Amino acid sequence: MPLASGPGPGWLLFSFGMGLASGLNCPVDCQCQTQEVICTGMQLTEYPPDIPLNTRRLYLSDNRIRFLPAMTLGLLSDLVYLDCQKNLIQEVMDYTFIGVFKLIYLDLSVNNLSLISPYSFSVLSNLVQLNLSNNPRLLSLNKYTFANTSSLRYLDLRNTGLQTLDHAAFQNLISLQTLYLSGNPWKCNCSFLDFSIYLIVSHLNHPDDQNATCVEPTELAGWPIAQVGNPLRYMCITHLDQQDYVFVLLIGFCIFAAGTVAAWLTGVCAVLYQNAHRRSSEDESEDEHGQRVEDSRRIFQRGMESGHDGYPQLI
Ligand SMILES: *[C@@H]1O[C@H](CO)[C@@H](O)[C@H](O)[C@H]1NC(C)=O
Ligand SMILES: *[C@@H]1O[C@H](CO)[C@@H](O)[C@H](O)[C@H]1NC(C)=O
Ligand SMILES: *[C@@H]1O[C@H](CO)[C@@H](O)[C@H](O)[C@H]1NC(C)=O
Ligand SMILES: *[C@@H]1O[C@H](CO)[C@@H](O)[C@H](O)[C@H]1NC(C)=O
Ligand SMILES: *[C@@H]1O[C@H](CO)[C@@H](O)[C@H](O)[C@H]1NC(C)=O
């Protein structure tokens, strides 16, 4: 037994001692076989005491158990199969499964789960099959819920209250093959885009994918979520919202205003320049005119002079 891999050697020694003391007991309402305890349909309202500590398979289905006690469940450090379907379990806490880290199969379907703490499954790195279906009060899953369950192959999330999932929650589910998502009120808004693209690119089996459909928004109601990636991409990336139109209008107005001001300034500059130019050229032409008059006057005078005095001079 690898002492270092469990929750601590003290715990294991304690379990071992208890095992010697109570290993041969069987809970009153249950049937015990080799490493297997069956308490199905016994009207149990609590987790049964005295479960043999070497139990590998435990069937608690079809009872009225409201919660799983981490301390006593944690004594079953060889447990690989735990069936709790059809009970009234309301919460799974971070430490609930901390002692049963060898679990391969966990069925929590048909319960009354409303909370699964983010690290509830964090020690279950051998878990292959997890059934959380038929828990209508389960409204959300944290993105770290499956961070360490990297062996998971079958995940059943049917008929819960889940409206959305974070695609980051599936990042470490590298072995996932089959995912059931039908019967949930999926809300296919833009936050759902990444998950819907994950569904397209991940090539998982969705045996129920025709029944896994969007409920909201109305324009996508009834769309299978495994196919909604492209319309969502159109809606969220190329499509403009009212808010975007306001933004575009605002930008347009700014450009328009800037253009108007620029045009006005250009106009003013042009007018000023033209005025200045006109004034300077008027001065010039006035100058020229004056000079020409002077010249002609001089010529005229000279002509007059020469006309008056020249003849007699020539003679
Ligand atoms: C289920 O859980 C809610 C609290 O989350 C509780 O009010 C309700 O009574 C429970 N249902 C049953 C059948 O025990
Ligand atoms: C995930 O598992 C590894 C070993 O399997 C462990 O060291 C780590 O603490 C676990 N993570 C969490 C969040 O429990
Ligand atoms: C999960 O549990 C439901 C109800 O108990 C059952 O119908 C379904 O087949 C189970 N899913 C898987 C993958 O075994
Ligand atoms: C989409 O819906 C979910 C679930 O109601 C909500 O948490 C999220 O904020 C919504 N996202 C957007 C972009 O509206
Ligand atoms: C889809 O839902 C309908 C009606 O609820 C049911 O008859 C059918 O078997 C379901 N199909 C799958 C593939 O789950």
Q: Are 50 and 63 in contact (CB under 8 A)?
A: no
> Average pLDDT, whole number, for the chain?
82
- pLDDT higher than 90, residue 294: no
Q: How does DSSP assign 6-75, residue by residue?
A: SS-HHHHHHHHHHHHHHTT---TT-EEETTEEE-TTS--SSPPS---TT--EEE--SS------HHHHTT
Domain ranges of the chain: 26-247, 251-281
Half-sphere exposure of 263 (CA within 13 A, CB side): 6
Q: Which residue has the tokens 């005025």?
A: 275
User: What is the best residue among 144, 148, 149, 152 to mutate for testing ligand 2's pocket, by most ligand atoms within 8 Å of CB?
Assistant: 148
The reply to whether omega before 217 is within 30° of 0 (cis) is yes
Q: Is the CB of 148 under 6 A from ligand 2?
A: yes
Rounded Cα gap, residues 115 and 110, in angstroms:
14
Q: What dihedral angle (degrees, nearest 10) is formed by the CA atoms of 116, 204, 159, 163?
A: 70
What average pLDDT does range 32-50 have in this prediction? 91
What pLDDT digit, counting tens, does each position of 224-253 carry? 998 888 888 888 886 666 677 788 788 888
User: What is residue 270's predicted lDDT score, i.e. its pLDDT?
Assistant: 86
Residue 43 has phi, psi (to 5 degrees) of 60, 25
What average pLDDT does range 121-148 have in this prediction? 94
Rounded Cα gap, residues 97 and 121, in angstroms:
7
Rounded Cα gap, residues 139 and 162, in angstroms:
5
Q: Measure 114 CA to ligand 1 centroid, in angstroms.
A: 9
Q: Are 162 and 182 in contact (CB under 8 A)?
A: no
Specify the ligand 4 atom closest to the Cα of 163.
Answer: 4
Specify the ligand 1 atom closest to the Cα of 88.
Answer: 14
What pLDDT digit, counting tens, does each position of 98-117 carry? 999 999 999 999 999 999 99
Nearest residue by C-alpha to atom 13 in ligand 1: 88
Rounded Cα gap, residues 145 and 216, in angstroms:
25
Specify the ligand 1 atom closest to the Cα of 90.
Answer: 2
Q: Residue 155: exposed, middle, or buried by beta-carbon count in 10 A (0-12, 13-18, 19+)?
A: buried
What pLDDT digit, counting tens, does each position of 207-219 carry? 888 889 999 888 8
Q: Are 85 and 111 in contact (CB under 8 A)?
A: yes
User: Can you count the helices (H) and strands (E) in the chain?
Assistant: 6, 12
Fill in the DSSP letter of residue 193.
H
Q: Measure 54 CA to ligand 2 centroid, in angstroms.
A: 24
Residue 40 has phi, psi (to 5 degrees) of -65, 135
Task: Give the ligand with the smallest distance to the CA of 217.
Answer: 4
Rounded Cα gap, residues 179 and 12, in angstroms:
35
Q: Does domain 26-247 bear CATH number 3.80.10.10?
A: yes
Half-sphere exposure of 100 (CA within 13 A, CB side): 30
Pairing of strands 81-83, 105-107: parallel
What is the H or E stretch that residue 266 is in?
Answer: helix 242-305
What average pLDDT does range 74-91 have in this prediction? 94
| Amino acid code (one letter) for 77 | S
- pLDDT higher than 50, residue 27: yes
Of residues 282 and 103, the one with the higher pLDDT is 103
Q: Measure 6 CA to ligand 2 centroid, in angstroms.
A: 12
